[in-house]
């Protein structure tokens, strides 16, 4: 099952298409964008494929410098849009979402690049029919349409030319698992590449003789489909393959050394680390007048240093300055081990933490702390995803060795890390939310789950609020209780809220860290199936736009009385009235379920009979129920059309 089919199925289910709901009431689904973006400083016409796209009113796009315009559209499966890309727009991935009067779509992606754009012209499925590219560099937009489809392009190169072939597919959520190969005039493969950074292949090749050459693009497993889109950039383009350091202290100017191809005599660049934010993206502008792809530098509040090679043995270990510090390092060869010598001036707990995968590095780190003789004191593989962390007590004026390596044989510029050595961080938390896009019908409610990642001993409650909702849309109160992992709340649209109204929202959590109050914005999370993954290998990734959209009135809606209730422990038969408002065709029984109740709170099951308007459901609060305030979510299912009622805020007292 392709990515597009999976997404369409999920979105159709979310829209409740099992009832007598008309197709026009379904939420739009975006499954691909072709061409997959455009060039900085130009306008680009892009076709978004999917379902329920007719009548689109706008397209939301992340970041600055790019706007999207839609015209009149009646095709449910295809939406043309025009991207207006400013000359100073940041290259790289942008997230887009289609807005219709029936809701806002899932996230699709496009790629903004610095080079002229071209389109694949079929047939180009054999080396003898390769599409000729006369002017390089160029970014060619193509699709692998059929299972046996291979797209070939031919070009001229001079002796000594170093060409870069960069395929963007995974980075725009394509279904393509890309394979690249460069051929000589006789059809011999000179170099091929499967996976590189972000699972997109890149080839850097220097031609020994002048002549005609070709490059081929295909899926590794010879799959294909409309959503197997790609953008192939090729030519004597500059590319940074490695840089050091990978960050710096906030407010400081950092001199970054660069490695790569076609950079001319550009060996370094100065980067100002901002005072705000955790990272800065910069575009290396080479002496040749061409821009390389952006690189990211990360910010800290600590002093920073860089590893000194060779440091593969204890005798060669790089000395690290005393005090909180970040060490910028890299695995430069297969099975390399980087060693650092640390001598704390004061006794106490120290945290040794590798930041790698969380920053986009390919490293799968393994961390060890040794004594001065090389005896292992502590080791860690995975503490934060694939990143390692050790917290341990250290003695004053005592030498320790800190060892960083990667578990797999990867090495090079994209296997970098930042090793933070400092006292253990104070309490903190981060938030994620699902769904990452809220679509709520007039007079209906939608449930949202917010999950807290508690760090360094934080156990307190987190109060939630929503900012930026469309007119006529409100959110129920919600608190993630102390020690709890998550909480649910509901977003409810008034019956007279304008269908199609949309705004970008923020879900904000407030907690107490020590003596200070801290706020964190919940990050939207979407599920996706990577190319070649099995059905049980669904992954998650962050999204950039969090919209809330008012949909038309749905087949039925639910409401409750009361919406908030306070009861004592040991109270039995607490009554909640559930009311259903139905359209004419929605006559079937509505099966009700309740979720989110605290421990030892038991709902008594009840359903709304066919054509019925309301029912009383009951809760039994056991004497050993916790003292807590928590939202309960009542969900109805009418022939697979699922709707929720506004949240019931239950407070249990002694």
Q: What is the pLDDT of residues 79-120, one digit of tens each?
A: 999 999 999 999 999 999 999 999 999 999 999 999 999 999
Integer-rounded Cα radius of gyration of the chain: 28
What is the rounded distance in angstroms from the CA atom of residue 36 to the CA atom of residue 96?
11
Residue 579 has pLDDT above 80, yes or no: yes
- The confidence score (pLDDT) of residue 534 equals 79
Hey, what are 481's tokens?
């209780």
What is the rounded distance in angstroms from the CA atom of residue 481 to the CA atom of residue 462?
7
DSSP conformation class of 129:
G
What is the rounded distance in angstroms from the CA atom of residue 507 to the CA atom of residue 448?
10
pLDDT tens, residue by residue, 273-321: 999 889 998 989 898 888 888 899 999 999 999 999 999 999 999 999 9
CA atoms within 13 A on the CB side of 151: 28
Does residue 409 sit in helix, strand or coil? coil
Q: Which of 297, 422, 402 is nearest to 359 (CA)?
A: 297
Contact 327, 340 (CB under 8 A): yes
Place of tokens 């964008």: 33
For residue 71, name the pLDDT band (cuts at 50, 70, 90).
Answer: confident
What is the rounded distance in angstroms from the CA atom of residue 62 to the CA atom of residue 93?
9
Residue 4 has pLDDT above 70, yes or no: no
- The confidence score (pLDDT) of residue 1 equals 31
Of 313 and 12, the one with more pLDDT:
313
- The confidence score (pLDDT) of residue 347 equals 96
Contact 151, 120 (CB under 8 A): yes
Domains of the chain: 3-113 (2.60.40.10), 121-235 (2.60.120.380), 239-300 (no CATH), 303-422 (2.60.120.380), 426-523 (2.60.40.10), 555-654 (2.60.40.10)
Q: Which of 11-15, 139-143, 539-543, 602-606 has the lowest mean pLDDT?
A: 11-15
Query: Diameter of the chain by CA atoms?
Result: 87
Tell me how crowded residue 10 is: count the other CB atoms within 10 A of its CB: 13
DSSP collapsed to 3 states, 592-606:
EEEECCCCCEEEECC
- The confidence score (pLDDT) of residue 198 equals 65
- The confidence score (pLDDT) of residue 539 equals 85
- The confidence score (pLDDT) of residue 452 equals 97
DSSP conformation class of 359:
G
What is the rounded distance in angstroms from the CA atom of residue 252 to the CA atom of residue 314?
32
- The confidence score (pLDDT) of residue 13 equals 34
Residue 575 has pLDDT above 80, yes or no: yes
What is the rounded distance in angstroms from the CA atom of residue 1 to the CA atom of residue 372?
55
Residue 147 has pLDDT above 80, yes or no: no
- The confidence score (pLDDT) of residue 306 equals 97
What is the rounded distance in angstroms from the CA atom of residue 329 to the CA atom of residue 336?
12
Residues in the chain, overall count: 654
What is the rounded distance in angstroms from the CA atom of residue 318 to the CA atom of residue 335?
18
Of 222 and 534, the one with more pLDDT:
222
Q: DSSP string covering 2-19, please?
A: -HHHHHHHHHHHHHTTTS
Task: Say whether pTM exceeds 0.85.
Answer: yes
Does residue 503 sit in helix, strand or coil? strand
pLDDT tens, residue by residue, 156-199: 999 999 999 999 999 999 999 999 999 999 999 999 999 866 68
Tell me how crowded residue 627 is: count the other CB atoms within 10 A of its CB: 12
- The confidence score (pLDDT) of residue 451 equals 98
Q: What is the mean pLDDT of residues 421-428?
A: 91
Q: Which of 1-10, 118-127, 390-399 has the lowest mean pLDDT?
A: 1-10
pLDDT tens, residue by residue, 514-532: 889 999 999 999 998 888 8
Helix, strand, coil content of the chain in percent (nearest 5) = 5, 50, 45
Residue 653 has pLDDT above 70, yes or no: yes
Hey, what are 613's tokens?
């308007």
Contact 537, 549 (CB under 8 A): no
């Amino acid at each position: 099952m392709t990515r597009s089919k999976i997404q369409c199925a999920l979105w159709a289910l979310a829209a409740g298409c099992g009832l007598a709901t008309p197709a026009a009431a379904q939420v739009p689904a975006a499954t691909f964008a072709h061409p997959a973006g455009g060039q900085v400083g130009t306008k680009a016409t892009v076709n978004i494929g999917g379902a329920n796209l007719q009548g689109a009113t706008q397209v939301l796009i992340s970041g600055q410098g790019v706007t999207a315009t839609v015209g009149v559209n009646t095709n449910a499966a295809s939406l043309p849009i025009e991207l207006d890309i400013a000359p100073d727009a940041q290259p790289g991935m942008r997230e887009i979402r289609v807005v219709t009067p029936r809701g806002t779509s899932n996230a699709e992606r496009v790629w903004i690049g610095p080079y002229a754009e071209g389109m694949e012209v079929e047939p180009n499925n054999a080396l003898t029919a390769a599409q000729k590219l006369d002017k390089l560099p160029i970014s060619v937009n193509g699709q692998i349409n059929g299972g046996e489809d291979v797209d070939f392009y031919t070009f001229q190169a001079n002796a000594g030319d170093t060409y870069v072939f960069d395929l963007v597919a995974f980075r725009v959520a394509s279904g393509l698992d890309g394979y690249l190969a460069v051929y000589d005039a006789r059809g011999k493969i000179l170099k091929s590449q499967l996976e590189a950074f972000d699972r997109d292949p890149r080839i850097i090749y220097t031609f020994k003789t002048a002549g005609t050459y070709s490059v081929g693009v295909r899926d590794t497993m010879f799959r294909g489909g409309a959503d197997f889109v790609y953008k192939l950039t090729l030519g004597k383009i500059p590319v940074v393959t490695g840089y050091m350091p990978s960050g710096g202290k906030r407010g400081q100017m950092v001199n970054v050394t660069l490695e790569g191809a076609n950079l001319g005599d550009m060996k370094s660049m100065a980067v100002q680390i901002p005072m705000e934010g955790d990272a800065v993206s910069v575009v290396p502008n080479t002496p040749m007048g061409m821009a390389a792809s952006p690189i990211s530098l990360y910010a800290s509040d600590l002093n920073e240093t860089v590893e000194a090679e060779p440091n593969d043995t204890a005798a060669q270990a790089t000395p690290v300055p005393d005090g909180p510090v970040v060490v910028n390092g890299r695995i430069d060869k297969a099975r390399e081990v980087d060693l650092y010598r640390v001598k704390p001036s004061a006794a106490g707990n120290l945290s040794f933490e590798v930041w790698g995968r969380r920053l986009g590095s390919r490293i799968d780190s393994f961390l060890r702390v040794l004594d001065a003789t090389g005896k292992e004191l502590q080791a860690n593989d995975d503490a934060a995803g694939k990143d390692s962390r050790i917290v341990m007590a250290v003695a004053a004026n005592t030498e320790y060795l800190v060892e960083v390596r990667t578990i797999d044989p990867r090495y090079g510029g994209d296997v970098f890390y930042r090793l933070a050595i400092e006292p253990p961080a104070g309490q903190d938390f981060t938030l994620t939310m699902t769904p990452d896009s809220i679509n709520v019908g007039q007079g209906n409610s939608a449930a949202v789950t917010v999950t807290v990642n508690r760090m360094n001993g934080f156990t307190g409650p987190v109060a939630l609020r929503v900012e930026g909702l469309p007119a006529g849309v409100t959110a129920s109160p919600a608190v993630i209780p102390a020690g709890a992992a998550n909480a649910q709340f509901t977003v409810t649209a008034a019956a007279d809220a304008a269908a199609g109204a949309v705004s970008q929202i923020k879900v904000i959590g407030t907690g107490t860290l020590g003596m200070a109050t801290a706020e964190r914005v919940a990050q939207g999370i979407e599920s996706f199936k990577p190319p070649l993954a099995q059905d049980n290998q669904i992954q998650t990734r962050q999204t950039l736009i969090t919209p809330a959209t008012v949909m038309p009135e749905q087949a039925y809606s639910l409401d409750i009385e009361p919406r908030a209730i306070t009861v004592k422990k040991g109270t039995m038969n607490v009554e909640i009235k559930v009311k259903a408002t139905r359209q004419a065709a929605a006559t079937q029984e509505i099966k009700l379920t309740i979720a989110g109740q605290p421990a030892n709170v038991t709902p008594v099951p009840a359903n709304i009979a066919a054509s019925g308007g309301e029912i009383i459901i009951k809760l039994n609060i056991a004497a050993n129920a916790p003292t807590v305030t928590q939202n309960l979510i009542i969900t109805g299912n009418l022939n697979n059309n699922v709707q929720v009622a506004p949240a019931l805020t239950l407070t249990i007292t002694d």
